[in-house]
Structure 1
Amino acid sequence: MMQHVESHPFPLMFATISGAHLYGFPSPDSDFDLRGVHLLPLETVVGLDGSNEKGGKQAVEKEGIYDGLEIDLVTHDAAKFFAMMLRRSGYVLEQIFSPLVVFTTSEHQELKQIATDCITRHHSHHYLGFAATQWKLFNKESPPRVKPLLYVYRVLLTGIHLMRTGVVEANLVTLNENAKLTYLDDLIAQKQTGPEKGTLSAADLKFHEAEYERLTKELETAHEQSTLPEMPSARPALNDLLVRLRLRSKR
């Protein structure tokens, strides 16, 4: 996995593992989703190509199999990633706070501190939208797969936990220690021991639909009752960090 990091065309601020491994239910054949932040050189961002996605390489994507592991790497330039942090994207926060760290720097540690001031009560909309998308995907398939159903539960419980505590927790096993939804243990076991595209042979669709609706309402209520701020306050700190990173890259 470090081979992906070492061969990256730009310096990295951090690289962490996302996807099923972070969520706590990888299948034996799950690939590794590597996510992170890179830093474009100063000459690139101040030139005409700096505002061009292709010329500036604001996103770098690489796929490959290394030592038998299928790895999917996606990184964004710091400026683009910092801008995403100021929106309602729980996805980028999960990357920052992922405990599965492949590569880190002191700036990554600083970013974790700053990221806490990016969390708002409106991040609930990210998780509600993601859950709705996964629920539609789950219902479209025949036979229904375990993976999208687990994603539904994962994002709803992550959103509820975030609204109540202000803490980003993406691991479904950890989340279920508090939620205590006994049926999740069976679903996770089925996903972990079976193939990536494992299906539900006898899914109780009515039960899961009722649970989806119940947890959706619970997240909506958690949003209404949340004491998290309305807006992020991290913009000045993110700007300061970005300027320091850019200037240092010139030295």
Structure 2
Amino acid sequence: MDEAVVARIEARLADISRDHRVAIPLAIESGSRAWGFPSPDSDYDCRFVFVRPVEHYLSLWQRRDVIETPMDGILDVNGWDLGKALKLLLKGNAVIIEWLNSSIAYGVDPDFRKEFLDLAHQVVDRRLVARHYLHLGERQRRVYFGDDNIVALKKVFYALRPAAALRWLRHHSDASVAPMHFPTLLKGCEAPAAIVAIIEELMARKAVTRELGSGPLPEPVLAFIDTEFEESRKAFPQKPQVINPDFRARAEAFFQAMIRRLSF
């Protein structure tokens, strides 16, 4: 983490808080640096959750539920309103769960993060989380190496991470939240040793080179990805999305409590 870049991120967050009159109780790194497989030239992907003043939520003219800032070189800073984050959580979107678990923080209210993470464990539907990772992984597989020929090797991780998360969920039937940190995830999902060796070699190369380059996708890795997607389609079948009324009520109570506590 470049201290000068971190300082720029912190300054931008301060500007956002002032200009938009929002509290930012969670601001973290969400990209490859937080996932544990950065390159020397990886972007800084700061993501944050914000809370607007109470009167904004009571207005006839609702504000946007996102705050976006221009991409500036390797700096990418964008955030979600707390309400948007909660709605997506109830739908099984794993992004906010990953934000809450990120080990790289630019600014975090520890009580907010703990209470939000506790809520996530209570209300998230593991089947919906699995379907999120399955749709994400299949899309990445299709976009970045659908023809199985020469591929940009760093793109392999975009499908590998969802595949490993799905395997982790299948191997931990009592859990709903997979680790965000990819090396931890890989260890916890008990991937075959041959696959782990190939992945670790790719990660080591990615850590020291700006461009991992292109080449044939290692066949064992491709087989691992496709097998995990196939097994997960069976283990987590598509069903009508019905949100538990109790979960909705808990999320609503959390939302109202945080608005009262954090609005200014």
Q: Which residue of 2 aligns with 1:82?
A: 86
What CA deviation, in whole Å up to 9, does each residue of 1:74-99 have, x standing for no partner?
11111111111100211221112222
Match of 2:258 among 231, 242, 245: 245
What is the aligned-residue RMSD (CA, Å)? Answer: 2.5
Instruction: Give the SS at the match of 1:47.
Output: coil
Match of 1:92 among 93, 96, 104: 96
Q: Which residue of 2 aligns with 1:70?
A: 74
Match of 1:187 among 182, 186, 202: 202
Distance 1:162 1:97, change over 3 A: farther
Rounded Cα–Cα distance in structure 1 between residues aligned with 2:235 and 2:153: 26
What CA deviation, in whole Å up to 9, does each residue of 1:175-212 have, x standing for no partner?
222324211011112222222x53233433x4443222
Q: Which residue of 2 aligns with 1:203?
A: 217
Q: What is the aligned residue count?
A: 236
Deviation at 1:147, TM superposition (A): 2.3
The answer to whether the 8 Å contact 1:16/1:98 transfers is: yes
Partner amino acid, structure 2, of 1:188: M
Q: Which residue of 2 aligns with 1:136?
A: 142
Partner amino acid, structure 2, of 1:130: L
Distance 1:250 1:81, change over 3 A: closer
Q: Which residue of 2 aligns with 1:36?
A: 48
Q: Which residue of 2 aligns with 1:13?
A: 25
The answer to whether the 8 Å contact 2:153/2:217 transfers is: no
Deviation at 1:245, TM superposition (A): 2.5
- Please say which of residues 238-247 and 86-95 is displaced more in the overlay: 238-247
- Name the TM-score, length of structure 1 as normaliser: 0.83
Determine if the alignment matches structure 1 residue 150 to structure 2 residue 157.
yes
Deviation at 1:220, TM superposition (A): 4.0
Q: Which residue of 1 aligns with 2:3?
A: none
Q: Which residue of 2 aligns with 1:53?
A: none
The answer to whether the 8 Å contact 1:42/1:249 transfers is: no
- Please say which of residues 83-92 and 96-105 is displaced more in the overlay: 96-105
Partner amino acid, structure 1, of 2:199: L
Deviation at 1:11, TM superposition (A): 0.9
Partner amino acid, structure 2, of 1:72: D
What CA deviation, in whole Å up to 9, does each residue of 1:224-251 have, x standing for no partner?
7xxxxx9665322221121123234566
Distance 1:64 1:132, change over 3 A: closer
- Name the TM-score, length of structure 2 as normaliser: 0.79
Q: Which residue of 1 aligns with 2:114?
A: 109
Instruction: Give the SS at the match of 1:12.
Output: strand
The answer to whether the 8 Å contact 2:23/2:262 transfers is: no
The answer to whether the 8 Å contact 2:151/2:216 transfers is: no
Rounded Cα–Cα distance in structure 1 between residues aligned with 2:119 and 2:231: 28
Match of 2:230 among 202, 217, 223: 217
The answer to whether the 8 Å contact 2:179/2:185 transfers is: yes
Rounded Cα–Cα distance in structure 1 between residues aligned with 2:36 and 2:123: 25
Deviation at 1:218, TM superposition (A): 3.9
Partner amino acid, structure 1, of 2:93: S
The answer to whether the 8 Å contact 1:124/1:223 transfers is: yes
What CA deviation, in whole Å up to 9, does each residue of 1:100-151 have, x standing for no partner?
2221112222101101023323211111111111111222587411222111
The answer to whether the 8 Å contact 2:101/2:180 transfers is: no
Instruction: Give the SS at the match of 1:48.
Output: coil
Rounded Cα–Cα distance in structure 1 between residues aligned with 2:13 and 2:67: 12
